[in-house]
Structure 1
Amino acid sequence: MSTAIKSLTTVYHRIFGTVERIADAWLLGLLARFAFAAVLWGYFLNSAQTKVGDGLFGFFSIQPGAYYQIAYPAVEAAGGDIGAVSFFPWGLMVVLGTYAEFILPLLIVIGLFSRLAALGMIGFILVQTFVDITVHQIGAEAVGSLFDRFPDAVIADQRLLWVIPLAVVVLKGPGLLSVDAVLGRRRFNTATPLHAQA
Protein backbone atom coordinates (compact mmCIF):
# COMPACT_ATOMS: atom_id res chain seq x y z
CA MET A 1 0.00 0.00 0.00
CA SER A 2 2.74 2.48 0.96
CA THR A 3 4.61 1.63 -2.28
CA ALA A 4 1.53 2.50 -4.34
CA ILE A 5 1.08 5.79 -2.49
CA LYS A 6 4.78 6.58 -2.94
CA SER A 7 4.53 5.83 -6.69
CA LEU A 8 1.42 7.99 -7.06
CA THR A 9 3.10 10.83 -5.16
CA THR A 10 6.17 10.58 -7.38
CA VAL A 11 4.07 10.65 -10.56
CA TYR A 12 2.02 13.55 -9.20
CA HIS A 13 5.14 15.61 -8.41
CA ARG A 14 6.75 14.82 -11.76
CA ILE A 15 3.66 15.85 -13.72
CA PHE A 16 2.94 19.06 -11.87
CA GLY A 17 6.62 19.89 -11.41
CA THR A 18 7.02 19.70 -15.19
CA VAL A 19 3.90 21.82 -15.75
CA GLU A 20 5.20 24.39 -13.27
CA ARG A 21 8.66 24.54 -14.89
CA ILE A 22 7.20 24.91 -18.39
CA ALA A 23 4.50 27.47 -17.51
CA ASP A 24 6.20 29.46 -14.76
CA ALA A 25 8.21 31.77 -17.01
CA TRP A 26 5.34 32.91 -19.23
CA LEU A 27 1.89 31.69 -18.19
CA LEU A 28 1.20 33.21 -14.76
CA GLY A 29 2.01 36.78 -15.78
CA LEU A 30 0.05 36.39 -19.01
CA LEU A 31 -3.00 34.99 -17.20
CA ALA A 32 -2.85 37.74 -14.57
CA ARG A 33 -2.64 40.45 -17.25
CA PHE A 34 -5.44 38.79 -19.25
CA ALA A 35 -7.68 38.69 -16.15
CA PHE A 36 -6.93 42.35 -15.44
CA ALA A 37 -7.66 43.33 -19.07
CA ALA A 38 -10.85 41.26 -19.28
CA VAL A 39 -12.34 42.36 -15.95
CA LEU A 40 -10.88 45.73 -14.94
CA TRP A 41 -9.40 47.62 -17.90
CA GLY A 42 -12.79 48.74 -19.19
CA TYR A 43 -13.84 49.76 -15.69
CA PHE A 44 -10.79 51.96 -15.14
CA LEU A 45 -10.88 53.37 -18.68
CA ASN A 46 -14.54 54.35 -18.28
CA SER A 47 -13.85 55.88 -14.88
CA ALA A 48 -10.90 57.87 -16.25
CA GLN A 49 -12.96 59.13 -19.21
CA THR A 50 -15.47 60.70 -16.80
CA LYS A 51 -12.65 62.90 -15.48
CA VAL A 52 -11.55 64.47 -18.80
CA GLY A 53 -13.23 66.33 -21.64
CA ASP A 54 -14.46 64.89 -24.93
CA GLY A 55 -12.29 64.32 -27.98
CA LEU A 56 -8.55 64.29 -28.47
CA PHE A 57 -7.92 67.71 -26.93
CA GLY A 58 -10.46 67.04 -24.18
CA PHE A 59 -8.05 64.41 -22.89
CA PHE A 60 -5.86 67.27 -21.67
CA SER A 61 -8.73 68.99 -19.87
CA ILE A 62 -9.54 67.83 -16.34
CA GLN A 63 -13.28 68.16 -15.73
CA PRO A 64 -14.94 69.36 -12.50
CA GLY A 65 -16.25 65.84 -11.92
CA ALA A 66 -12.70 64.66 -11.34
CA TYR A 67 -12.42 67.01 -8.38
CA TYR A 68 -15.70 65.75 -6.96
CA GLN A 69 -14.60 62.13 -7.35
CA ILE A 70 -11.06 62.48 -6.04
CA ALA A 71 -10.92 65.59 -3.84
CA TYR A 72 -14.47 66.07 -2.62
CA PRO A 73 -13.47 67.42 0.85
CA ALA A 74 -11.42 70.20 -0.80
CA VAL A 75 -14.29 71.08 -3.16
CA GLU A 76 -16.71 71.15 -0.26
CA ALA A 77 -14.32 73.37 1.78
CA ALA A 78 -14.12 75.74 -1.21
CA GLY A 79 -17.91 76.07 -1.26
CA GLY A 80 -18.20 74.02 -4.47
CA ASP A 81 -15.93 76.38 -6.42
CA ILE A 82 -13.39 74.19 -8.23
CA GLY A 83 -11.31 77.25 -9.11
CA ALA A 84 -10.80 77.93 -5.40
CA VAL A 85 -9.33 74.49 -4.74
CA SER A 86 -5.57 74.79 -4.26
CA PHE A 87 -3.39 73.00 -6.76
CA PHE A 88 -1.11 71.63 -4.08
CA PRO A 89 -1.97 69.06 -2.87
CA TRP A 90 -5.55 68.68 -4.15
CA GLY A 91 -5.22 69.70 -7.79
CA LEU A 92 -2.03 67.70 -8.14
CA MET A 93 -3.78 64.63 -6.68
CA VAL A 94 -6.63 65.05 -9.17
CA VAL A 95 -4.27 65.36 -12.16
CA LEU A 96 -2.06 62.45 -11.10
CA GLY A 97 -5.05 60.26 -10.17
CA THR A 98 -6.81 60.96 -13.46
CA TYR A 99 -3.87 60.19 -15.72
CA ALA A 100 -2.73 57.24 -13.59
CA GLU A 101 -6.13 55.69 -14.26
CA PHE A 102 -5.42 55.90 -18.01
CA ILE A 103 -1.72 55.04 -18.06
CA LEU A 104 -1.19 52.33 -15.42
CA PRO A 105 -3.84 49.90 -16.76
CA LEU A 106 -2.54 50.35 -20.31
CA LEU A 107 1.02 49.57 -19.19
CA ILE A 108 -0.19 46.41 -17.44
CA VAL A 109 -2.19 45.20 -20.44
CA ILE A 110 0.65 45.64 -22.93
CA GLY A 111 3.24 44.48 -20.42
CA LEU A 112 5.50 47.55 -20.30
CA PHE A 113 7.14 48.46 -16.97
CA SER A 114 4.66 45.87 -15.73
CA ARG A 115 5.88 45.31 -12.20
CA LEU A 116 6.03 49.02 -11.44
CA ALA A 117 2.65 49.65 -13.12
CA ALA A 118 1.03 46.79 -11.19
CA LEU A 119 2.48 48.09 -7.93
CA GLY A 120 1.12 51.55 -8.81
CA MET A 121 -2.32 50.05 -9.51
CA ILE A 122 -2.32 48.27 -6.16
CA GLY A 123 -1.62 51.64 -4.51
CA PHE A 124 -4.32 53.24 -6.67
CA ILE A 125 -6.89 50.63 -5.59
CA LEU A 126 -5.96 51.07 -1.92
CA VAL A 127 -6.38 54.86 -2.19
CA GLN A 128 -9.62 54.41 -4.15
CA THR A 129 -10.91 52.10 -1.41
CA PHE A 130 -9.93 54.56 1.33
CA VAL A 131 -11.69 57.42 -0.51
CA ASP A 132 -14.82 55.31 -1.10
CA ILE A 133 -15.07 54.43 2.59
CA THR A 134 -14.04 57.71 4.22
CA VAL A 135 -14.99 60.42 1.73
CA HIS A 136 -17.93 58.94 -0.17
CA GLN A 137 -19.01 57.07 2.96
CA ILE A 138 -20.41 54.02 1.22
CA GLY A 139 -22.52 51.80 3.42
CA ALA A 140 -21.37 48.82 5.44
CA GLU A 141 -23.15 46.42 3.07
CA ALA A 142 -20.98 47.66 0.19
CA VAL A 143 -17.81 47.41 2.29
CA GLY A 144 -18.66 43.88 3.35
CA SER A 145 -16.39 41.63 5.33
CA LEU A 146 -13.72 39.07 4.59
CA PHE A 147 -14.27 35.46 5.68
CA ASP A 148 -18.05 35.77 5.62
CA ARG A 149 -20.36 33.69 3.44
CA PHE A 150 -21.14 36.50 0.98
CA PRO A 151 -18.65 36.74 -1.92
CA ASP A 152 -19.95 39.92 -3.54
CA ALA A 153 -19.08 42.88 -1.33
CA VAL A 154 -17.88 45.74 -3.53
CA ILE A 155 -14.93 46.58 -1.31
CA ALA A 156 -13.74 43.66 0.82
CA ASP A 157 -14.32 40.89 -1.71
CA GLN A 158 -14.02 42.51 -5.12
CA ARG A 159 -11.07 44.74 -4.38
CA LEU A 160 -9.14 41.84 -2.84
CA LEU A 161 -9.72 39.88 -6.05
CA TRP A 162 -8.61 42.93 -8.08
CA VAL A 163 -5.31 43.06 -6.24
CA ILE A 164 -4.41 39.36 -6.66
CA PRO A 165 -3.60 39.41 -10.43
CA LEU A 166 -1.66 42.63 -9.89
CA ALA A 167 0.33 41.00 -7.09
CA VAL A 168 1.13 38.11 -9.44
CA VAL A 169 2.53 40.57 -12.00
CA VAL A 170 4.58 42.34 -9.31
CA LEU A 171 6.00 39.06 -7.98
CA LYS A 172 6.31 36.93 -11.13
CA GLY A 173 6.55 39.52 -13.91
CA PRO A 174 4.36 39.97 -16.99
CA GLY A 175 5.33 36.73 -18.76
CA LEU A 176 7.06 36.21 -22.10
CA LEU A 177 4.19 37.69 -24.15
CA SER A 178 4.85 41.27 -23.09
CA VAL A 179 6.75 44.34 -24.19
CA ASP A 180 9.00 43.94 -21.14
CA ALA A 181 10.00 40.44 -22.32
CA VAL A 182 10.68 41.65 -25.87
CA LEU A 183 12.82 44.53 -24.59
CA GLY A 184 14.61 42.19 -22.20
CA ARG A 185 15.43 39.73 -25.01
CA ARG A 186 16.61 42.56 -27.25
CA ARG A 187 18.84 43.94 -24.48
CA PHE A 188 20.21 40.45 -23.76
CA ASN A 189 20.94 39.82 -27.45
CA THR A 190 22.65 43.21 -27.76
CA ALA A 191 24.74 42.69 -24.63
CA THR A 192 25.78 39.12 -25.54
CA PRO A 193 28.90 38.93 -27.74
CA LEU A 194 28.46 37.10 -31.05
CA HIS A 195 30.90 34.31 -30.13
CA ALA A 196 28.86 33.60 -26.96
CA GLN A 197 25.64 33.21 -28.99
CA ALA A 198 27.15 30.59 -31.31
Structure 2
Amino acid sequence: MDRLVSLHSSVFGAIERFGDGLLPLLSRLIFAGVLLVYFWKSALTKVGDGFFGLVSPSVGAYAQIFPKQLEAVGYDSSQLSVFHWAVVVAGTWAEFILPLLIVVGLFTRLASLGMIGFVVVQSLTDLYGHGGIEHVETLGAWFDGAPDSVIMDQRAFWMLLLLTLVIKGAGVLSVDKVLQMRHVGQAAHA
Protein backbone atom coordinates (compact mmCIF):
# COMPACT_ATOMS: atom_id res chain seq x y z
CA MET A 1 0.00 0.00 0.00
CA ASP A 2 2.89 2.36 0.78
CA ARG A 3 4.25 1.88 -2.73
CA LEU A 4 0.87 2.74 -4.24
CA VAL A 5 0.59 5.91 -2.13
CA SER A 6 4.18 6.84 -3.01
CA LEU A 7 3.54 6.30 -6.74
CA HIS A 8 0.33 8.31 -6.54
CA SER A 9 2.08 11.17 -4.71
CA SER A 10 4.98 11.15 -7.12
CA VAL A 11 2.87 11.18 -10.29
CA PHE A 12 0.30 13.70 -9.13
CA GLY A 13 2.89 15.85 -7.37
CA ALA A 14 4.61 16.32 -10.74
CA ILE A 15 1.28 17.12 -12.39
CA GLU A 16 0.49 19.64 -9.65
CA ARG A 17 3.85 21.38 -10.05
CA PHE A 18 3.40 21.50 -13.84
CA GLY A 19 -0.17 22.72 -13.40
CA ASP A 20 0.86 25.72 -11.28
CA GLY A 21 1.95 27.51 -14.44
CA LEU A 22 -0.37 25.78 -16.88
CA LEU A 23 -3.71 26.16 -15.07
CA PRO A 24 -3.64 29.99 -15.10
CA LEU A 25 -2.55 29.99 -18.74
CA LEU A 26 -5.47 27.73 -19.64
CA SER A 27 -7.80 29.91 -17.55
CA ARG A 28 -6.72 32.95 -19.55
CA LEU A 29 -7.16 31.04 -22.81
CA ILE A 30 -10.67 29.96 -21.82
CA PHE A 31 -11.46 33.52 -20.72
CA ALA A 32 -10.32 34.75 -24.14
CA GLY A 33 -12.32 32.11 -25.99
CA VAL A 34 -15.53 32.45 -24.00
CA LEU A 35 -15.72 35.93 -22.46
CA LEU A 36 -13.37 38.39 -24.21
CA VAL A 37 -15.58 38.99 -27.25
CA TYR A 38 -18.72 38.85 -25.08
CA PHE A 39 -17.49 41.75 -22.93
CA TRP A 40 -16.09 43.72 -25.88
CA LYS A 41 -19.37 43.42 -27.80
CA SER A 42 -21.21 44.58 -24.71
CA ALA A 43 -18.82 47.53 -24.31
CA LEU A 44 -19.29 48.52 -27.96
CA THR A 45 -23.04 48.88 -27.39
CA LYS A 46 -22.26 51.49 -24.73
CA VAL A 47 -19.94 53.70 -26.79
CA GLY A 48 -21.53 56.91 -28.03
CA ASP A 49 -21.24 58.39 -31.49
CA GLY A 50 -18.21 60.13 -32.90
CA PHE A 51 -14.68 60.75 -31.79
CA PHE A 52 -15.60 61.28 -28.13
CA GLY A 53 -17.82 58.18 -27.92
CA LEU A 54 -15.74 56.70 -25.11
CA VAL A 55 -16.61 59.63 -22.84
CA SER A 56 -20.07 60.27 -24.26
CA PRO A 57 -21.95 57.00 -23.72
CA SER A 58 -24.96 55.93 -25.75
CA VAL A 59 -28.46 55.99 -24.29
CA GLY A 60 -28.29 52.20 -24.46
CA ALA A 61 -25.38 52.29 -22.01
CA TYR A 62 -27.54 54.03 -19.44
CA ALA A 63 -30.40 51.63 -20.23
CA GLN A 64 -28.14 48.65 -19.53
CA ILE A 65 -26.56 49.96 -16.33
CA PHE A 66 -29.30 52.20 -14.86
CA PRO A 67 -32.54 50.92 -16.45
CA LYS A 68 -34.95 52.14 -13.78
CA GLN A 69 -33.31 55.53 -13.37
CA LEU A 70 -33.28 56.10 -17.14
CA GLU A 71 -36.94 55.14 -17.38
CA ALA A 72 -37.75 57.55 -14.55
CA VAL A 73 -36.33 60.47 -16.58
CA GLY A 74 -38.18 59.51 -19.75
CA TYR A 75 -35.09 57.96 -21.37
CA ASP A 76 -33.36 61.35 -21.50
CA SER A 77 -29.86 60.52 -20.29
CA SER A 78 -29.02 64.23 -19.97
CA GLN A 79 -31.35 64.26 -16.96
CA LEU A 80 -29.11 61.83 -15.07
CA SER A 81 -26.32 62.97 -12.74
CA VAL A 82 -22.56 63.12 -13.18
CA PHE A 83 -22.43 60.03 -10.94
CA HIS A 84 -24.46 58.06 -13.49
CA TRP A 85 -22.22 59.29 -16.32
CA ALA A 86 -19.04 58.37 -14.37
CA VAL A 87 -20.31 54.86 -13.59
CA VAL A 88 -21.33 54.25 -17.20
CA VAL A 89 -18.01 55.53 -18.59
CA ALA A 90 -15.98 53.56 -16.02
CA GLY A 91 -18.02 50.43 -16.72
CA THR A 92 -17.55 50.81 -20.46
CA TRP A 93 -13.80 51.27 -20.14
CA ALA A 94 -13.62 48.36 -17.70
CA GLU A 95 -15.31 46.09 -20.26
CA PHE A 96 -12.59 46.92 -22.76
CA ILE A 97 -9.51 47.16 -20.54
CA LEU A 98 -9.90 44.47 -17.86
CA PRO A 99 -10.51 41.56 -20.29
CA LEU A 100 -7.54 42.70 -22.41
CA LEU A 101 -5.28 42.80 -19.34
CA ILE A 102 -6.38 39.28 -18.39
CA VAL A 103 -5.79 37.87 -21.87
CA VAL A 104 -2.27 39.31 -22.22
CA GLY A 105 -1.50 38.54 -18.59
CA LEU A 106 -0.69 42.04 -17.37
CA PHE A 107 -1.67 42.92 -13.79
CA THR A 108 -3.72 39.74 -14.01
CA ARG A 109 -4.61 39.44 -10.35
CA LEU A 110 -5.87 43.03 -10.15
CA ALA A 111 -7.68 42.79 -13.49
CA SER A 112 -9.35 39.56 -12.35
CA LEU A 113 -10.44 41.18 -9.07
CA GLY A 114 -11.85 44.04 -11.14
CA MET A 115 -13.74 41.61 -13.35
CA ILE A 116 -15.13 39.83 -10.27
CA GLY A 117 -16.49 43.17 -9.08
CA PHE A 118 -17.79 43.90 -12.56
CA VAL A 119 -19.60 40.53 -12.78
CA VAL A 120 -21.14 41.02 -9.32
CA VAL A 121 -22.50 44.44 -10.35
CA GLN A 122 -23.60 43.04 -13.72
CA SER A 123 -25.44 40.19 -12.01
CA LEU A 124 -27.16 42.48 -9.49
CA THR A 125 -28.19 44.82 -12.32
CA ASP A 126 -29.57 41.88 -14.29
CA LEU A 127 -31.51 40.64 -11.26
CA TYR A 128 -32.82 43.88 -9.79
CA GLY A 129 -32.44 46.53 -12.50
CA HIS A 130 -33.80 44.40 -15.32
CA GLY A 131 -36.17 42.26 -13.24
CA GLY A 132 -34.36 38.95 -13.65
CA ILE A 133 -35.04 38.12 -10.00
CA GLU A 134 -38.68 37.63 -10.96
CA HIS A 135 -37.73 34.82 -13.35
CA VAL A 136 -36.57 31.66 -11.62
CA GLU A 137 -34.73 30.47 -14.72
CA THR A 138 -32.54 33.60 -14.74
CA LEU A 139 -31.41 33.36 -11.12
CA GLY A 140 -31.39 29.59 -11.07
CA ALA A 141 -30.41 27.41 -8.16
CA TRP A 142 -27.52 25.14 -7.37
CA PHE A 143 -28.09 21.42 -6.98
CA ASP A 144 -31.26 21.56 -9.08
CA GLY A 145 -29.96 19.42 -11.93
CA ALA A 146 -30.35 22.24 -14.47
CA PRO A 147 -26.94 23.80 -15.32
CA ASP A 148 -28.21 26.58 -17.54
CA SER A 149 -29.27 29.52 -15.37
CA VAL A 150 -27.54 32.80 -16.19
CA ILE A 151 -26.65 33.89 -12.67
CA MET A 152 -26.17 30.96 -10.29
CA ASP A 153 -24.73 28.54 -12.84
CA GLN A 154 -23.04 30.44 -15.65
CA ARG A 155 -21.57 33.23 -13.57
CA ALA A 156 -20.38 30.81 -10.89
CA PHE A 157 -18.08 29.33 -13.54
CA TRP A 158 -16.93 32.81 -14.53
CA MET A 159 -16.10 33.52 -10.87
CA LEU A 160 -14.18 30.27 -10.49
CA LEU A 161 -12.11 31.07 -13.56
CA LEU A 162 -11.41 34.60 -12.29
CA LEU A 163 -10.63 33.40 -8.76
CA THR A 164 -8.13 30.95 -10.24
CA LEU A 165 -6.33 33.92 -11.80
CA VAL A 166 -6.48 35.95 -8.57
CA ILE A 167 -4.97 33.08 -6.59
CA LYS A 168 -2.50 31.65 -9.13
CA GLY A 169 -1.63 34.71 -11.19
CA ALA A 170 -1.24 34.79 -14.96
CA GLY A 171 0.80 31.64 -15.53
CA VAL A 172 3.86 30.90 -17.62
CA LEU A 173 3.20 32.83 -20.82
CA SER A 174 2.27 36.30 -19.66
CA VAL A 175 3.52 39.84 -19.41
CA ASP A 176 3.38 39.46 -15.62
CA LYS A 177 5.86 36.56 -15.84
CA VAL A 178 8.22 38.58 -18.07
CA LEU A 179 8.07 41.52 -15.66
CA GLN A 180 8.64 39.21 -12.70
CA MET A 181 11.67 37.58 -14.34
CA ARG A 182 13.05 40.99 -15.26
CA HIS A 183 12.59 42.22 -11.69
CA VAL A 184 14.31 39.13 -10.26
CA GLY A 185 17.16 39.58 -12.75
CA GLN A 186 17.61 43.21 -11.78
CA ALA A 187 17.54 42.33 -8.08
CA ALA A 188 20.21 39.67 -8.62
CA HIS A 189 22.49 42.21 -10.34
CA ALA A 190 22.01 44.84 -7.64
Q: TM-score, normalised by structure 1?
A: 0.89
Which residue of structure 2 aligns with residue 40 of structure 1?
Answer: 35
Which residue of structure 2 aligns with residue 83 of structure 1?
Answer: 78
CA distance in 2, matches of 1:140, 1:54: 37
| Aligned partner of residue 143 in structure 2, secondary structure | coil
Q: Does 1:164 align with 2:167?
A: no
Task: Report the number of matched residues.
Answer: 188
Give a deviation string over 1:134-179, Cα, whole Å, max 9, x none.
Answer: 0101221121101110011111100000111100000011112100
In structure 2, runs of 5+ residues without a counterpart are none
The structural deviation recorded for 1:53 is 3.7
Q: Does 1:15 align with 2:5?
A: no
CA separation of 1:176 and 1:56: change in aligned 2, threshold 3 A: farther
The structural deviation recorded for 1:29 is 1.0
| Aligned partner of residue 112 in structure 1, secondary structure | coil
Q: Does 1:173 align with 2:169?
A: yes
The structural deviation recorded for 1:22 is 2.8
Which residue of structure 1 aligns with residue 145 of structure 2?
Answer: 149
CA distance in 1, matches of 2:100, 2:50: 19
Which residue of structure 2 aligns with residue 27 of structure 1?
Answer: 22
Residue from 100, 107, 118 that aligns with 2:112: 118
| Aligned partner of residue 155 in structure 1, secondary structure | helix
Amino acid at match of 2:104: I
Amino acid at match of 2:109: R
Amino acid at match of 2:60: G
CA distance in 2, matches of 1:160, 1:58: 32
Amino acid at match of 2:72: A
Give every structure 1 segment of 4 or more consecutive aligned residues whose post-TM-superposition deviation is greater than 2 Å. Answer: 53-61
CA separation of 1:60 and 1:92: change in aligned 2, threshold 3 A: closer
Q: Does 1:66 align with 2:34?
A: no
State whether residues 73 and 79 of structure 2, in contact with CA within 8 Å, keep that contact through their aligned partners in structure 1: yes
In structure 1, runs of 5+ residues without a counterpart are none
Amino acid at match of 1:103: I
The structural deviation recorded for 1:20 is 1.2
Identity %: 50
CA separation of 1:56 and 1:8: change in aligned 2, threshold 3 A: farther
State whether residues 49 and 58 of structure 2, in contact with CA within 8 Å, keep that contact through their aligned partners in structure 1: no
The structural deviation recorded for 1:92 is 1.2
Instruction: Say which one has the larger Rg.
Output: 1
Amino acid at match of 1:42: V
